[in-house]
């Protein structure tokens, strides 16, 4: 039996067996009183550590490759935190006032600031707590008399409170067998990194830092969502067998990835990839995706200057050309909430998630928006391009965009610039308002794409980053399920296609339900596409429709979960254990 069993949120599937390697040394912080004459020297030690950390972060930022350019802003923000008087000056003052060593003063200051920021309503300010903690850990390591430990010096499972982009850039990724963190979730750096490396990952592992020991044996179950510390021989043998079985299954699904996703009774479903940037194009082609259901365009804007039309055209045209004749759905700029842009930072909104983001931002800043639309229309001459608008809540927003595109068509024609005169224009259904007026919106749009992540959070009235209400992040809640069905039916009545690009599409339990409700296309990160296509080939359309009908009639979430699990158990048998799901991980408060 293992010494300890911990649970977390699976963010990347698979099973890893190795030893614990902490990203930052996990040890008792030095708590030492000093004499008055030692204060100045101790303050100098802290200032020197801060200077070293700033220099190290600067060097790391300069070495960030272009395909990870979005990391530079986060690293730059951490550099500013090191300079921020709220951190450094407060710690220096605490050394003098309390007559304590630099490490102790730093710990007290970081804890105080993190508590302050985590208690704020603004999700951006709450996220600053993670940056402060990351900087604090770096400063603590510099203050240590021991040489810094290299977390990637030998193969192991990386353990940390959280991973920042600067941490990622300093790792020898070839030696990371798995990743577990106490913070983060499905969209964290932990999730993105572990999925990109095709290694198991768990986030939100409660008690990890306090319980785990450096170099002790560990098993990471990225399928079941658990961590075994100090496993015995029976545990090691059992999980080694499961790991081998999962690896063999994943190999089989990858070999069949280019086969069509056709259900047992002949119903074919499109399975597309969601991409962050051009560097993922090869992964999209290898995974057998039927095009791109969501291409996020924000990363070109995460620099010190706004991209030009030619900058954007080069990126978009390259993507469209390489994937032609398959369709690429480009989502227009979606800033706000968890995606900040320099032009928006000055607004200092009290609640960015409900503020000027998505299409609202674009229609307010039409200079930025028109530049992007011109680039997309010109890229349309190179391939099969469609445009998708985020955060739509009103008919007028779509109508305004159509008028702008008509004006741009006339301008581009007058300039004799090759472009697509009429690109398909669709919207993301992610606000309750859009779900309520979906029948009218369907008459204005060429397609719908349901963003289940935001839609669920807005319907349930929760903040995705607040663990205290995580139990309400419930895709099978009657309000959510019935809203999804309403949107799908409205789209089909008007003869337009409807896809789902949120996390629910890659969840086996959610996928069966969505197919039963009539979704035409699903999309997810490239890593999940082969498994999704494999799943669909095991489903029967009639059975999925019966399941959806039963769930739609149910008002009991627990009963709905049982129905979904029983249906999938019948369809997949033992293979069900090879798929991760978040539908069964939320607990009541």
Other CB atoms within 10 A of residue 33 CB? 10
Q: What is the dihedral of CA 56, 60, 61, 63, to 10 degrees?
A: 140
What the block records as the tokens of 320 is 């469209």
- Residue 181 is inside which H or E element, if any? strand 176-181
Short-list 253, 200, 171, 134, CA closest to 529: 253
Is 365 assigned a catalytic role? no
Pairwise CA distance, residues 19 & 216, whole Å: 5
Do 397 and 362 contact (CB within 8 A), yes or no?
A: no
* Rounded-to-integer distance, Cα 160 and Cα 41, Å: 31
User: Residue 231 in contact with residue 219, Cβ under 8 Å?
Assistant: yes
**Can you tell me which residue has the tokens 């035409």?**
520
Strand 201-203 relative to strand 9-12: parallel, antiparallel, unpaired? antiparallel
Residue 476 burial by CB count (10 A; 0-12/13-18/19+): exposed, middle or buried?
buried
Q: Is 362 a catalytic residue?
A: no
101, 114, 445, 501: the catalytic one is 501
Listed in order, strand segments (DSSP E) in 408-495 are 425-429, 447-450
**Cis status, amide bond into 325, omega within 30 of 0:** yes
139 CB-side CA count, 13 A: 30
Q: Phi/psi at 33 (nearest 5 deg)?
A: -80, 150
Query: What's the longest Cα–Cα distance across the chain?
Result: 83
Retrieve residue 570's tokens: 């019948």
**Residue (of 396, 472, 400) closest to 434 by Cα position:** 396
Cβ atoms within 10 Å of 141's Cβ, excluding its own: 18
Place of tokens 């932990």: 190
The CA distances from residue 80 to 76, 90, 135, 140, in Å, are: 6, 15, 10, 17
Rounded CA-CA distance 201/195 in Å is 8
The sign of the torsion formed by the CA atoms of 382, 67, 303, 199 equals: positive
Strands 447-450 and 425-429: parallel
d(CA 334, CA 343): 13
Show the beta-strand stretches assigned E in 395-503: 425-429, 447-450, 497-500
Q: Is 250 marked as a binding-site residue? A: no
The C-alpha atoms of residue 65 and residue 193 are separated, in whole angstroms, by 15
* 453 annotated as belonging to a binding site for a ligand: yes
> Which parts of 173-267 fold into alpha helices (H)?
189-197, 208-211, 233-255
What are the distances in angstroms from CA 221 to CA 28, 227, 231? 28, 6, 12
Does the annotation flag 382 for ligand binding?
A: no
Burial class (CB in 10 A: 0-12, 13-18, 19+), 340: buried
Binding residues for Mg(2+): 430, 454
Binding residues for phosphoenolpyruvate: 296, 331, 453-454, 464
Active-site residues, by number, are 189, 501
């Amino acid at each position: 039996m293992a010494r300890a069993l911990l649970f977390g949120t699976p963010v990347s599937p698979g099973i890893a067996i190795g030893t614990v390697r902490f990203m930052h040394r996990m040890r008792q912080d030095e708590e030492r009183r000093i004499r008055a004459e030692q204060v100045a020297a101790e303050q100098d030690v802290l200032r020197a550590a801060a200077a070293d950390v700033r220099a190290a972060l600067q060097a790391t930022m300069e070495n960030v490759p272009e395909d990870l350019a979005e990391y530079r802003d986060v690293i730059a923000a951490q550099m500013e935190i090191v300079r921020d008087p709220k951190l450094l000056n407060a710690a220096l003052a605490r050394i003098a006032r309390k007559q304590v060593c630099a490490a102790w003063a730093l710990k007290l200051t970081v804890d105080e600031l993190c508590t302050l920021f985590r208690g704020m309503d603004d999700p951006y300010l709450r996220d600053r707590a993670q940056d402060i903690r990351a900087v604090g850990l770096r400063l603590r390591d510099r203050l240590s008399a021991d040489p810094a430990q290299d977390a990637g010096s030998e193969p192991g499972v990386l353990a940390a409170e959280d991973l920042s982009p600067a941490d990622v850039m300093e790792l020898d990724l070839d030696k990371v067998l798995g990743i577990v963190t106490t913070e983060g979730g499905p969209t964290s750096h932990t999730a993105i990194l572990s999925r990109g490396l095709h290694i198991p990952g768990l986030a939100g592992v409660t008690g990890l830092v306090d319980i785990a020991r450096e170099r002790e044996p560990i098993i990471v179950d990225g399928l079941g969502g658990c961590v075994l510390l100090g496993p015995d021989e029976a545990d090691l043998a059992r999980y080694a067998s499961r790991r081998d079985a999962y690896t063999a299954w994943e190999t089989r699904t990858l070999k069949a990835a280019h086969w069509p996703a056709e259900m047992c009774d002949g119903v074919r479903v499109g399975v597309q990839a969601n991409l962050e940037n051009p560097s993922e194009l090869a992964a999209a082609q290898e995974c057998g995706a039927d095009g791109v259901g969501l291409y996020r365009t924000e990363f070109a804007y995460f620099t010190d200057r706004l991209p030009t039309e030619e900058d954007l055209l080069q990126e978009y045209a390259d993507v469209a050309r390489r994937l032609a004749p398959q369709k690429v759905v480009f989502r227009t700029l979606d800033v706000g909430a968890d995606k900040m842009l320099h032009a928006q930072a000055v607004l200092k909104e009290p609640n960015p998630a409900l503020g000027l983001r998505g299409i609202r931002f674009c229609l307010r800043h039409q200079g930025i928006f028109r530049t992007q639309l011109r680039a997309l229309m010109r890229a349309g001459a190179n391939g099969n391009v469609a445009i998708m608008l985020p955060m739509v809540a009103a008919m007028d927003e779509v109508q305004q965009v159509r008028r702008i595109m008509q004006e741009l068509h006339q301008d581009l024609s007058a300039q004799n610039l090759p472009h697509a005169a009429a690109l398909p224009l669709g919207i993301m259904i992610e606000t309750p308002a859009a779900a309520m007026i979906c029948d009218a919106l369907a008459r204005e749009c060429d397609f719908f794409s349901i963003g289940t992540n935001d839609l669920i959070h807005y319907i349930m009235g929760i903040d995705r980053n607040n663990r205290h209400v995580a139990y309400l992040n419930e895709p099978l809640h009657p309000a959510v399920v019935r809203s999804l069905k309403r949107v799908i039916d409205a789209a089909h009545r008007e003869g337009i296609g409807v896809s789902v690009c949120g996390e629910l599409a890659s969840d086996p339990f959610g996928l069966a339900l969505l197919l039963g409700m009539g979704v035409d296309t699903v999309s997810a990160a490239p890593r999940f596409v082969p498994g999704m296509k494999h799943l669909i080939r095991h489903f029967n359309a009639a059975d999925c429709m019966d399941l959806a009908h039963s769930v739609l009639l149910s008002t009991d979430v627990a009963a709905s979960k049982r129905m979904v699990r029983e249906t999938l158990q019948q369809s997949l048998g033992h293979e069900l254990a090879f798929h991760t799901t978040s539908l069964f991980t939320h607990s009541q408060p």
